[in-house]
């Protein structure tokens, strides 16, 4: 019994030490603007404004700007890099998109959506993408769109875009 208890305490201590060794220093935005790319997959998510979270691939920055045309088919966002230690350790980041005042009004939903939120696992030393594709007419909402990256209760980064009618 004592041996099992000692082994359990050793395991818990090692796990706690391992968690303490992971350090997330910052999340740096290294580019932002309008992107081209394709949608690799879409995961159903009833809490998302469009009812799904899309995963993009073959992303390429087309224009480095914070001014985005309010047009269906426009993909905008930012690329970021995670700094900390040890390299390669995957950390969970909460990606938050705050929509302009009034939110997005999906005709299939009873209430407007004021923000989207999902968790993304990103390795320390690696990068990721956060953004939005306005694929439906009701998603084309002018105003300030705010993208935030959180680690627990700590805001690590923030990027604003002004979506404007021509």
pLDDT digits (tens, 9 = 90+) for 121-148: 999 999 999 999 999 999 999 999 999 9
Give the whole-number percent of the chain exceeding pLDDT 90.
Answer: 72
**Can you read off the two tokens belonging to residue 50?**
């469009």
Rounded to whole angstroms, the Cα distance separating 129 from 33 reads: 11
Before 86, cis peptide (omega within 30)? yes
Q: What is the mean pLDDT of the chain?
A: 87
**Can you read off the two tokens belonging to residue 143?**
């105003």
CA-based max dimension of the chain = 73
- Can you tell me whether residue 2 is helix, strand or coil? helix
Sign of CA dihedral 39, 103, 30, 92: negative
pLDDT digits (tens, 9 = 90+) for 9-61: 333 334 444 456 999 999 999 999 999 988 777 777 777 777 777 777 889 99
**What are the chain's domains?**
24-164 (2.60.40.2390)
Q: What angle do CA 21, 25, 26 make, to 5 degrees?
A: 150
Rounded to whole angstroms, the Cα distance separating 99 from 84 reads: 30
Global confidence as pTM: 0.83
State residue 12 phi and psi, 5-degree precision.
-65, -40
């Amino acid at each position: 019994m004592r041996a099992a208890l000692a082994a359990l305490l050793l395991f818990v201590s090692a796990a706690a030490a391992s968690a303490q060794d992971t350090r997330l220093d910052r999340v740096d935005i290294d580019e932002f603007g309008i992107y081209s790319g394709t949608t690799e997959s879409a995961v159903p998510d009833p809490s998302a404004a469009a009812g799904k979270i899309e995963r993009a691939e073959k992303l390429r920055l087309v224009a480095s700007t914070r001014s985005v045309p309010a047009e269906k088919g426009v993909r905008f966002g930012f690329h970021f890099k995670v700094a900390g230690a040890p390299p390669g350790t995957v950390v969970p980041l909460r990606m938050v998109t705050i929509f302009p005042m009034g939110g997005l009004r999906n005709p299939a939903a009873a209430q407007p959506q004021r923000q989207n939120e999902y968790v993304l696992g990103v390795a320390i030393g690696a990068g990721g993408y956060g953004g939005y594709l306005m694929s439906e007419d009701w998603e084309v909402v002018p105003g300030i769109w705010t993208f935030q990256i959180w680690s627990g209760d700590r805001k690590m980064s923030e990027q604003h875009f002004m979506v404007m009618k021509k």
